[in-house]
Amino acid sequence: MLPAVEIEDLTVAYGDKPALWDVDLRVPRGVLMAIVGPNGAGKTTLLKATLGLVKAAAGNVRILGRPYEQQRRLVAYVPQRSSVDWDFPTTVLDVVMMGRYGQLGWLRRPGRAEHEAALAALAQVQLTDFAHRQIGQLSGGQQQRVFLARALAQNAEVYFMDEPFQGVDAVTERAIIHILRDLRAAGKTVVVVHHDLQTVPEYFDQVALINVRRIAAGPVREVFTEANLRATYGGRLNILGANGTGGVATPAPAPGD
Ligand code: ATP
């Protein structure tokens, strides 16, 4: 079956400093994949380069067998919450409706169908009551869910999410993981930058370990090993348990984190 995402020889540099070096990654269809690695490993850069938001020095990205530019409408992106200006004067519903613009084309105004799709997505993330609130008046967890709703409204095939669990409480985390599982059950593919190593085996089918280079990628049970985690995090990894599996490892905080 055609993979959802195929990345070949991807190299990205900011100035003369490489953030990603010759990365290959293949994401099968219908899986939940975690992108894992230390701070500054290039995880966000990997998503942004895949979506054409930063320019690659070299490499090739295909989404469902074609270049991203031809598949834009099939791809949804949930950016890091901190990367957005939340003071921008707009409502929750307007942000979620933006998820529909790809289907709509720029020249048509959103109508009843778009409105209903946006409201359905807001209901999925339990934010119906917040539809008309200004986005600046939301908590961190609510902001995260607004972005998720925008991505859901898009009805994409492949979802890229940059730390969707960051700053959310345990209840919201469960709600988000539930939504990710629903997406998988519907045959969608979800690629998530994720920091909590403890939950990788429970939440994800596949994992990519990144530290500028691709250290390893594939099914969690094959790839999420102590040896691979050590290769990814180096000396900054504390192994809490004795059985040596990644499910019990946590990265030690980097100086200045
Ligand atoms: P984190 O876990 O801290 O979010 P990350 O793995 O997502 O990190 P990136 O944000 O992709 O890492 O950054 C990779 C490297 O590129 C880092 O060293 C970072 O400082 C650098 N970098 C990222 N964006 C830029 C930019 N716009 N200009 C210059 N350097 C950048």
When the pLDDT of each residue in the chain is averaged and rounded to a whole number, the result is: 88
Q: Would you state the pLDDT for residue 7?
A: 97
CB distance 251 to ligand 1 below 6 Å: no
**pLDDT tens-digit readout, 19-42:** 999 999 999 999 999 999 999 999
pLDDT at 256: 47
- With 0.75 as the threshold, say if the pTM is over it: yes
Q: Is 111 or 198 the better-scoring residue by pLDDT?
A: 198
Ligand 1 centre and the CA of 113: distance in Å? 39
Distance (angstroms) between ligand 1 centre and the Cα of 213 equals 14
For 119-166, what is each residue's pLDDT tens digit? Answer: 999 999 999 999 999 999 998 889 989 999 999 999 899 999 999 998
Q: Is 82 in the pocket of ligand 1 (CB under 6 A)?
A: no
User: Stretch 43-64: mean pLDDT, rounded?
Assistant: 95
DSSP assignment of the chain equals ---SEEEEEEEEEETTEEEEEEEEEEE-TT-EEEEE--TTSSHHHHHHHHTTSS--SEEEEEETTEEHHHHGGGEEEE--GGGS-TTS--BHHHHHHGGGHHHH-SSSPP-HHHHHHHHHHHHHTT-GGGTTSBGGGS-HHHHHHHHHHHHHHHT-SEEEEE-TTTT--HHHHHHHHHHHHHHHHTT-EEEEE---GGGHHHH-SEEEEEESEEEEEEEHHHH-BHHHHHHHHGGGEEE-SSS-BGGGEEEPPPTT-
> Regarding beta strands 206-211 and 213-219, do their DSSP bridges make them parallel or antiparallel, or are they unpaired?
antiparallel
Lowest pLDDT segment from 11-20, 42-51, 223-232, 235-244: 235-244
Q: Which residues contact 252 (CB under 8 A, 6 or more apart)?
A: 233, 236, 237, 238
178: pLDDT confidence band, cut at 50, 70 and 90?
very high
Query: Is any ligand 1 atom within 6 A of the Cβ of residue 44?
Result: yes
Does residue 45 line the site of ligand 1, with CB under 6 A? Answer: yes
pLDDT of residue 246: 43
Write the residue with the smallest CA distance to atom 28 of ligand 1.
Answer: 14
Best residue among 11, 12, 45, 192 to mutate for probing ligand 1, ranked by most atoms within 8 Å of CB: 45
Q: Whose CA is nearest to atom 20 of ligand 1?
A: 40
Q: What band does 253 get if pLDDT is binned at 50, 70 and 90?
A: low
- Decide if pLDDT at 77 tops 50: yes
Residue 104 confidence class, pLDDT cut points 50, 70, 90:
low
**Cα end-to-end distance, the chain, whole Å:** 41
Q: State whether the beta carbon of 40 lies less than 6 angstroms from ligand 1.
A: yes
